[in-house]
A = this chain, B = another copy of it.
Amino acid sequence: MRDDEPPRSGTQRVRIDLAYDGRAFSGWAAQPGLRTVEDTLAAALTTILRTIEPVRLVVAGRTDAGVHARGQVVHADLDAAAYAALPGRNDRSPERAARDRLNAVLPDDVVVRRVAAAPPGFDARFAAVWRRYRYRICDDPAAFDPLRRHDTVVINDRLDPGAMTRAAQRLLGLNDFAAFCKRRDGASTVRTLIDYSWYREDDATVTATVRADAFCHSMVRALVGALVPVGLGRAPVSFPAEVLAGGIRDPRVKVMPAHGLCLEEVGYPPDDQLAVRAAQARNRRG
């Protein structure tokens, strides 16, 4: 099954919303011999449906090793009969039964928030219109909350989120983000950056919100790495835009650690525009 195929007959396409603590996972994408979110969720689905064929998943955001998610979205084409039979003798819906059974078999670092029959044309990857990520940095080591050390990066000097936001605004819009992407042959690095702002969440924590139509590999962490020197006063507000214009990876831009990053939300168009959106995205990035 390729990503862009419509549901086969005899299957029910479902949308699954989930959250995970990325620490103990080697990222989303299945890899032989490694613990990944994709393998973990697919195995749980296969278990609760008792199907012979393993369940295949299509994901909105392929998070890297160590990256967290609170609003990840996937779709899967499930055996329609097995799915309909899930509630058993209870009067719950298949949606509710699937969610609760998944949470009962999943390890405690993955939580399924919702399972729902996908509207026609829905594709978790290609129908998405944006992905929103958050990055947390503590800029006062003595004020660091040890209870958040698994999703917060700590640095030794204070950041100026106002200057960081001013610099970040210059990156917005349709641009070639090659300077912030790991190169892959044949893949476009043109993306639309919709939001990129920084604010002080509490005395010691500065948070970035980054939203784009899509991201290439390690792009959010490089976008954060380009802004930290500005926040520390070690690079001018113009620095990130200069890196962007350069069009190649810049050694002054550090790709920030994975554990500060969390996929918070994926946006989709209204149901009647899902199919058109998916077709557009396939043509552009496929």
Residues of A with Cβ closer than 8 Å to B? 19-21, 68, 70, 99-100, 103, 108-114, 141-147, 149-151, 262
In the complex, the count of this chain's copies comes to 2
Docked-complex contact B141 and A103, CB < 8 angstroms = yes
Q: How far is the CA of A68 from the CA of B146 in the complex (A)?
A: 9
6 contacts between A and B (CB under 8 A): A21-B146, A70-B145, A70-B147, A99-B142, A109-B149, A111-B145
Docked-complex contact A68 and B147, CB < 8 angstroms = yes
Q: Which of B70, B99, B108, B112 is in CB contact (< 8 Å) with A149?
A: B108
Check A109/B151 contact, CB under 8 A, given A103-B141, A141-B103: no
Q: How far is the CB of A172 from chain B (nearest CB, A)?
A: 28
Q: Chain A's interface: helix, strand, loop or mixed, by majority? A: mixed
Q: How far is the CA of A99 from the CA of B143 in the complex (A)?
A: 11
Docked-complex contact A109 and B70, CB < 8 angstroms = no
Residues of B within 8 A of A114 (CB): 142
Docked-complex contact A146 and B108, CB < 8 angstroms = yes
Which of A113, A147, A150, A262 has the most chain B CB within a 10 Å cutoff?
A147
Q: How far is the CA of A70 from the CA of B204 in the complex (A)?
A: 13
Q: Which of B100, B112, B113, B150 is in CB contact (< 8 Å) with A147?
A: B150
Q: How far is the CA of A111 from the CA of B142 in the complex (A)?
A: 7
Residues of B within 8 A of A100 (CB): 142
Residues of B within 8 A of A103 (CB): 141-142
Q: How far is the CB of A145 from chain B (nearest CB, A)?
A: 6
Q: How far is the CB of A268 from chain B (nearest CB, A)?
A: 20
Residues of B within 8 A of A143 (CB): 113
Check A149/B21 contact, CB under 8 A, given A103-B141, A142-B103: yes
Q: How far is the CB of A135 from chain B (nearest CB, A)?
A: 14
Q: How far is the CB of A177 from chain B (nearest CB, A)?
A: 27
Docked-complex contact A109 and B142, CB < 8 angstroms = no
Residues of B within 8 A of A262 (CB): 147
Task: Please name the residue on chain B nearest to A113 by beta carbon.
Answer: B142
Residues of B within 8 A of A150 (CB): 147
Q: How far is the CB of A115 from chain B (nearest CB, A)?
A: 9
Docked-complex contact B144 and A111, CB < 8 angstroms = yes
Residues of B within 8 A of A21 (CB): 146-147, 149
Docked-complex contact A19 and B110, CB < 8 angstroms = no
Q: How far is the CA of A21 from the CA of B146 in the complex (A)?
A: 6
